[in-house]
Chains A and B, each alone.
Chain A
Amino acid sequence: MRVLIVEDEARLAGNIAQVLKESASLAADISTDGVDGLHMAKTNPYDLIILDLTLPGMDGLDILSELRAMDIAVPVLILTARNTRSDIITGLNRGGDDYLTKPFDMGELVARCKALIRRSYGQPHPVLEVGKLKVDTVARGVIFDNKDVRLTAMEYRTLEYLAMRAGQIVSKEELLDHLYDFNWERFSNVTEVYISTLRRKLDPDRSFDPIETVRGQGYRLKDS
């Protein structure tokens, strides 16, 4: 899952990105300018945008309106110091999905981000169940065939994305787009490496093989 943080206070944006990475295994990009933020939001398939309203270059609400006008359905969490009721109503009515006022609690922000992402993938339950696989998105634990599976952060991030889209074919490009922020060196074979380690860790005997390779198209997490 990949998040865009549009926030003019670079330090605050950095802190949010760090916490999202550390405690939610989310990839995060930062933009401290409205115009730049809108451009990034348009050109990358983000799973969530955390949007400040008071921004240099362009107002957050205008960014929101423009995104919605372009039929970009990404969930948007408005994070702002504007805290009056009318501000909240305006923010939500302009296309925001959630509203959090500054100063906020990091834990709450992370929980809201996770909830918004789950909901956008049609997964209301915090524990994703796909066949014998259980992915607990809160504790970030994975159980396969009633056995705990220990995964690295990147392995978890990959599996969680596949589990969110269980039953669908996920291309390598999609994996790259949704799992890595701009700070990562992107090699297309990096996904193949993670997929193969996931396969090994989940099913050492190769009896189930929960991750199916669809030739020429991508991967699919089997739901039975």
Chain B
Amino acid sequence: MRPLSLKWRIGIFMTCLLVVVITTISGVAYVELSKSLLRTVDNTLGADVDAIVSLVESEDSLVEARKEIDAFLNPKANSDKTMYRIWFDGENDYVAASSPLERWPSNLFAETPPAPSVGEFEVLNTQVDKDHYRLIWARLADSRQDAPTDSVVNVVIATHSSHVIGKMKEFLEVLAILGAAVISGSLVLTTWILHWGLKPVARLTSQMDEVSGKGLEQLTSNIPDSPSELHPFIHAWDQMLERLALAMQQQQRFTADASHQLRTPLTIVKSTLQTARSRRRTPDVYVSAIDQSLEDLGRLEHLTEQLLALANLDDIAGQSEWRTFDLREVVSEVCEQYAQLVEGNNVVLKWELSSAKVRGNEDQLRILVSNLVDNAVKHGPAGGEVLVSMRCLNGLISVSVHDQGGNIPEGEHEHIFERFYRLRKTGQRTSGGSGLGLALAQEVAHKHQGRIDVISEPAQGTSFIVTLPLA
């Protein structure tokens, strides 16, 4: 099921709340109103009862009393509302009753209610056909002089109460209509307010929709008169876009560079093979074309490996795979490997190592060292010497790779660590560098909280110095 929208959720919540509140208030008001209306009726009836009782008690003859009562109630009797009966316990006939008799509903006491005890009175409601009546039934000890002992006089006085019920009904209707109006009005208002309040969010959303992979930097979400509550969100969103744009820019530049760099050896191999194939040639020519192609493929392979290493470096963010090891072993492994490679290449590789425990990724640090040694071996002068040395100082280990080249101008120092950066060639052919070696080395160093410095002077040669914290 789709979750309800905020608009509907708040709408429903508001409705329920209003229903509860309005119902409670209406109920209380209804009860209070009906109480007050009936109290008026009861007060009148009570006064009448009091009057009748006092008349019955004061007059010796009940016939006299009846006259007095009629005179007293007469105006009310005419008003067709108040009726009474007086009788003694144990006697069937009424001693006195309002006239005309037939107005007294015959079945007023369809079910005789329990009689109130002597000296008490009971307030009763009863319904005859569609008419509602309010009754007071009082039972009094007969206090006349000639009355028999234990004689009890009953007085019942009744009045129509239909108008009260009618008023209550009307009131209820008004309440219901008013309540419904308030609830539906508030529902409309709530949704409208929410719609209005969420408008900036909707605008933001449509703006976000327009954000495509390419146009990241063009869009700083600039929403006119957006509420201040949204500002942190918009700000965060903008910053995220900025970071994303930067990351993508770097990625695109890297991809462009990488494809450019991969294309060059590929082009050379292709042209060599097409040239060889373009006409019939001697076997020697074919062999040399194949050899050249293999050499270029080697370069392509090297470049691919470096690219992969770089990509992996970006991937592995965590230091969870780090362990503590002796850097000397790694450096010595690399040196031995290169010593074999450069044999007969007119380059001498020497190393003076000391033990140094470091914490980090062994494979990455091996790539770092081997890239530096590789550079030194390739760019140093023919017949020159490459020296790898290690030195511990103040909790740091520095590995220096020194060659006798010394031809990196001062201005280039900051650029040589950029990806695919190559020195302006001074006549000699570069020996197939990928342009990634130093970039890779520097990234590894940075990942290990270290740094690489370069010192290059024509007289002394070039030194790359890696400094890492000791474990």
Contact = CB atoms under 8 A, between A and B. Distances in A.
Contact of B267 (A10, A19, A104): A104
B263 interface: yes
B278 A23 contact: yes
A81 B263 contact: yes
Interface string A26-58: 000000010000000000000000000010110
B279 to A, nearest CB: 6
A150 B274 CA distance: 27
B275 A102 contact: no
B107 interface: no
A49 to B, nearest CB: 18
Interface residues of B, dominant DSSP: helix
B425 A11 contact: no
A12 B278 contact: no
A26 to B, nearest CB: 14
B268 A9 contact: yes
Contacts, number: 62
B130 interface: no
Given A22-B279, A106-B278, A12 B263 contact: no
Given A10-B429, A56-B424, A81-B263, A105 B268 contact: no
Assign chain A's interface to a size class: 20 to 34
Contact of A12 (B259, B260, B267, B279): B267
Contacts of B422: 56
Contacts of B424: 56-57
Nearest to B266: A103
Interface string B250-285: 000000100110011011101110110011000000
Contacts of A15: 268, 271-272, 274-275
Contacts of A23: 278-279
Nearest to B256: A84
B292 interface: yes
Given A22-B279, A57-B424, A106-B278, A81 B264 contact: yes
B349 to A, nearest CB: 28
Nearest to A56: B425
A84 to B, nearest CB: 8
Q: Which 3 residue pairs across A and B have the least CB separation, nearest first?
A: A102-B267, A106-B274, A15-B271
16 contacts: A8-B425, A9-B264, A11-B292, A12-B267, A12-B268, A18-B275, A19-B278, A56-B422, A56-B424, A57-B425, A81-B259, A81-B264, A81-B267, A102-B267, A105-B274, A106-B274
Interface of A: 8-12, 15-16, 18-19, 22-23, 33, 54, 56-57, 81-84, 102-107
Given A11-B296, A19-B275, A102-B267, 6 more contacts: A19-B271, A22-B279, A57-B424, A82-B260, A103-B270, A106-B275
